[in-house]
Amino acid sequence: TQYVYRFGGGVSDGGKGDRNLLGGKGANLAEMAAIGLPVPPGFTISTEFCAVYYDEGGQFPQSLRDEVATGIAHIEGVTGKRFGNPADPLLVSVRSGARASMPGMMDTVLNLGLNDQTVEGLAATSGDARFAWDSYRRFIQMYSDVVLELDHDAFEEALEIAKEDRGYFLDTDLTADDLRGLVAEYKGLVEQLWGKPFPQDVHDQLWGAVGAVFGSWQSERAKVYRRLNDIPASWGTAVNVQAMVFGNMGDTSATGVAFTRDPAIGTKAYYGEFLINAQGEDVVAGIRTPQYLTTAARAAAGAKPLSMEEAMPVVFAELAKVFDLLETHYRDMQDIEFTVQQGKLWMLQTRSGKRTAKAALKIAVDMAEEGLITREEAVARVDPAALDQLLHPTLDPKAVRDVLTKGLPASPGAASGFAVFDSDTAETRAAAGEAVILIRTETSPEDIHGMHAAKGILTARGGMTSHAAVVARGMGRPCVSGAGGISIDAKAGVMRVGLGAEARVVNAGDIITIDGTTGEVMAGEVPTVQPELSGDFATLMVWADGVRRLRVRANAETPLDAKVAREFGAEGIGLCRTEHMFFDAERITNVRQMILAEDEAGRRAALDKLLPEQRSDFVQLFEVMAGLPVTIRLLDPPLHEFLPHEESEFADVAAAAGVAVDVLKRRAADLHEFNPMLGHRGCRLGVTYPEIYEMQARAIFEAAVLVAQKSGAAPIPEVMIPLVGTRRELELMKAVVDKAAQAVFADTGTTITYHVGTMIELPRACLMAGEIAEVGEFFSFGTNDLTQTTLGVSRDDAARFLTTYVERGIYARDPFVSLDVEGVGQLIGMAAERGRATRPDIKLGICGEHGGDPASIAFCETVGLDYVSASPYRVPIARLAAAQAAL
């Protein structure tokens, strides 16, 4: 296998298509060299060698040594300098470069090739002894840090002392002799800390650096970065060895970084900074304040030091041409590093620039309108997940934050408000016009009203699919869940962050801010900025809609959520969870009476009171969704969820329901289940208490008839039966629904088109999908339960160990967030196929949380589902992801 690829001096063994092999940096250096840009010559050791390096226990085979020798010979040939030549030495940089850019995560060594002899040669050829000794000093410091892993502070300290002793303020005040002395000191430090002298053999230096860069791929910080950015460890990094060029050779030298457009807001203007007489690390280190690239930017900032455009007009003009050429060549905004050595421009890196979601949108739309890319490409360019940033209020990036702790970023957006510790208070204070943040150890369905009233929700327990997280996302409320660092005493109205004397205390009524996008919890109010949904956003969405095949619906229960969903472009409702309608403060008593009734007659009496309420819910929903399909799921959760759990609540609840306390307690005990998720829920409720489903079905059809009669825009109800595992269950429940429909149509004289179908959320349902499709007209994959039942992992308890599972690579991502395509995906594929075999026109959708996850949506496209259904705020994300899946 070939591992070394050369570039520069008219040679390019690779190009921009070789990113997987050469890493981003290596591929783009080769590409820039190939299109004739000034790139210092060098070579790349491919990412393929990274795996070999680890397999070989950190050894380098002879074949690689031979290839590297050829690479060095290439650089020597182009530069006319020899590596290790005391008279006129070649110096190189050694840098990492992975397939995906991992800014600042991995290691770099500059000025490699200097030793006690070559430093004299560099001094002679450059005519600048100070520069030579400063380069040597920097090299020893970097090498000791990165390769020898010695204590960095010891070197910094020696540098500081050297300056102090001489009464200097700046590094640049040090003279050649000072630096020569400092080098001696540094070498002493190395010997003392490392136990061996600083390597003088330039080849030893090179192999040490190459090993360190490959080694940095498995550093802790690189691992963390990969985990956060879903980068597989198997990709490996490449290593780039390149002739050094110097931006610190006097006032005609400089170094800088630039973007071809503004990465924060996307404006078409060069954006960047540079420093005269400096090396790249100085710009990054922030020791000196960099200067603006363009005069316009300098003027806008009211800054004094000359822009590059003013200070180096000729080189700037050349650079500007390179910017334009690179942007046209790569057809994307570029992030560029350059160096000017004594008036000559050198390009050190180009890559597609990272940008905010706002800039991504603007750049994609602008470039399509400029004709640089197609509309499809514009659609493909914007990361759907990043849209989340735009659809919610965000923290003002300029604001100061006093971060108390961090939890899981459970539902995006930022909000500030008074801390409240129970849902009733949240509701009352919100009704009085106050902004509140609801803080709970965990939430339950009884907190729905408080969550709705709150601007944001904070919980101490629970993962990304905990009740709080799912409900908050559905409502579009920012939520931080599972903030392990806090303890809550709801009765006393206090939250403590941290332990003991160190703990910080938030009392009820204090103002706090949460950021559901990052998981941060902050003291006090941090100002937010509102999202903007017109302009570029709207344009891109229209383009996306022109491309996608999958339809996009919303999971919504309330008219308000349904309206938001429509504004975001939902094409119907894919899941209306009717139980949410039962938790309403006024209705819950009727629900409880129904549960507490001794017999069917008692249940029917309570259900009769619930019917008009359900009907009015559906009327409102149908009005908002006029003419669009609305999938309504009949009651799903186990009945005990509607009963109180706290001793203190029993008396009030019993009184309201008109039963004795001990009756209530007995019934609650009767209903207790060891494993409610696998218990008496879903269609099992409908099978045992058909009158419940009958009432719900009646309410649906009466509402549909009312809306049809009133507006003429008849909704298309799709009645959905949850947790079906057998054909017979669905058959029984469909009979209940059909009977209710016929009764309503007969009573009202109006007939409505409707469909009856089922959730597919049990493995058995997937296996038996062929048979189930004989009865069901549609399937909606309930991937929350399907994931739970297929993996045998409880969605409510998984947070405790799933993070470890993801860290250990057992699952690539949280399977409740992003569909386990390999496992659960097989069941979905099978069910879709078997369902279609029976009923070719069966309608297939997904309504689990995965319906709003781009990777899962891509999978839905491959199995040919008809639609995905996501929470309202994720509808735009789903539209864009569906378009990308179709491209």
Q: Whole-number minimum distance, CB 790 to ligand PEP, in Å?
A: 11
3-state secondary structure 418-455: EEECCHHHHHHHHHCCCCEEEEECCCCHHHHHHHHHCC
Distance in angstroms (rounded) separating the CA atoms of residues 432 and 429? 5
Taking CB under 6 A as the binding criterion, the range among 120-128, 515-523, 690-698, 778-786 that sits at the site for ligand PEP is 778-786
Nearer to ligand PEP, 577 or 834 (CB): 577
Nearer to ligand PEP, 456 or 782 (CB): 782
Q: Whole-number minimum distance, CB 629 to Mg ion, in Å?
A: 19
Q: Whole-number minimum distance, CB 577 to ligand PEP, in Å?
A: 5
Q: Which of 786, 729, 724 minimizes the C-alpha distance to 758? A: 724
Rule CB under 5 A: choose which of 335, 785, 849, 853 binds Mg ion.
Answer: 785
Rule CB under 5 A: choose which of 782, 815, 825, 876 binds Mg ion.
Answer: 782
Q: Which of 160, 185, 189, 186 minimizes the C-alpha distance to 174? A: 160
Taking CB under 6 A as the binding criterion, the range among 209-217, 596-604, 727-735, 783-791 that sits at the site for ligand PEP is 783-791
847 binds, options Mg ion, ligand PEP, none, Cβ within 5 to 8 A by partner type? ligand PEP
β-strand 271-276 against 254-259: which pairing, if any? Answer: antiparallel
Q: Which of 13, 41, 205 minimizes the C-alpha distance to 118? A: 205
Taking CB under 5 A as the binding criterion, the range among 103-111, 559-567, 729-737, 780-788 that sits at the site for Mg ion is 780-788
553: tokens are 């619906």
Q: Which of 266, 235, 289 minimizes the C-alpha distance to 105? A: 235
C-alpha gyration radius of the chain:
33
Distance in angstroms (rounded) separating the CA atoms of residues 317 and 328? 17
Q: Whole-number minimum distance, CB 832 to Mg ion, in Å?
A: 18
Instruction: Show the site string, 603-642: x = touches ligand PEP by CB under 6 A, - = not.
Output: ---------------------------------x------
455 binds, options ligand PEP, Mg ion, none, Cβ within 5 to 8 A by partner type? none
Instruction: Given the residues 467, 580, 640, 850, select the one marked as catalytic.
Output: 467
Q: Which amino acid does the sequence have at 236?
A: G
* Distances from the Cα of 864 to the Cα of 769, 832, 844, 871, angstroms: 16, 8, 8, 21
Instruction: Given the residues 50, 479, 766, 847, select the one marked as catalytic.
Output: 847
Residue 758 C-beta-side C-alpha neighbours within 13 Å: 31
Q: Whole-number minimum distance, CB 478 to Mg ion, in Å?
A: 24
* Distances from the Cα of 460 to the Cα of 77, 391, 412, 506, 645, angstroms: 63, 26, 17, 14, 19
Q: Which of residues 752-771 bind ligand PEP (CB under 6 A)?
A: 761
Distance in angstroms (rounded) separating the CA atoms of residues 650 and 664? 7
Distance in angstroms (rounded) separating the CA atoms of residues 281 and 635? 62
> Contact between 412 and Mg ion (CB under 5 A)?
no
Q: Which of residues 846-875 bind ligand PEP (CB under 6 A)?
A: 847-848
Rule CB under 6 A: choose which of 107, 702, 785, 814 binds ligand PEP.
Answer: 785
Residue 704 C-beta-side C-alpha neighbours within 13 Å: 29
Q: Whole-number minimum distance, CB 848 to ligand PEP, in Å?
A: 3
134 binds, options ligand PEP, Mg ion, none, Cβ within 5 to 8 A by partner type? none
Nearer to ligand PEP, 427 or 579 (CB): 579
* Distances from the Cα of 727 to the Cα of 722, 765, 774, angstroms: 13, 9, 8
Distance in angstroms (rounded) separating the CA atoms of residues 214 and 866? 46
Taking CB under 6 A as the binding criterion, the range among 339-347, 396-404, 781-789, 807-815 that sits at the site for ligand PEP is 781-789
Inter-residue contact 854 to 881 (CB < 8 Å): yes
Nearer to Mg ion, 145 or 849 (CB): 849
Q: Whole-number minimum distance, CB 390 to ligand PEP, in Å?
A: 26
* Alpha helices (H) along 351-437: 357-370, 375-381, 384-391, 423-431
Q: Which of residues 567-586 bind ligand PEP (CB under 6 A)?
A: 575, 577
Active site residue 467: yes
Residue 133 neighbours by CB under 8 Å, 6+ apart: 119, 123, 176, 179, 180, 182, 183
Q: Whole-number minimum distance, CB 785 to ligand PEP, in Å?
A: 3
Rule CB under 6 A: choose which of 783, 790, 818, 884 binds ligand PEP.
Answer: 783
Taking CB under 5 A as the binding criterion, the range among 161-169, 285-293, 562-570, 779-787 that sits at the site for Mg ion is 779-787
Using DSSP's 3-state secondary structure scheme, residue 75 falls into helix
Using DSSP's 3-state secondary structure scheme, residue 97 falls into strand
- How many C-beta atoms lie closer than 10 Å to residue 611's C-beta? 16
Taking CB under 6 A as the binding criterion, the range among 146-154, 302-310, 776-784, 805-813 that sits at the site for ligand PEP is 776-784
Nearer to Mg ion, 776 or 782 (CB): 782
Q: Which of 213, 218, 19, 226 minimizes the C-alpha distance to 102? A: 226
Q: How many residues bind ligand PEP (CB under 6 A)?
A: 10
Nearer to Mg ion, 8 or 782 (CB): 782
Taking CB under 5 A as the binding criterion, the range among 551-559, 565-573, 697-705, 782-790 that sits at the site for Mg ion is 782-790
Q: What distance, in Å, lies between the first and last C-alpha atoms of the chain? A: 35
783 binds, options Mg ion, ligand PEP, none, Cβ within 5 to 8 A by partner type? ligand PEP
Which residues are the active-site residues? 467, 847
Binding site for ligand PEP (CB under 6 A): 575, 577, 636, 761, 782-785, 847-848
Binding site for Mg ion (CB under 5 A): 761, 782, 785
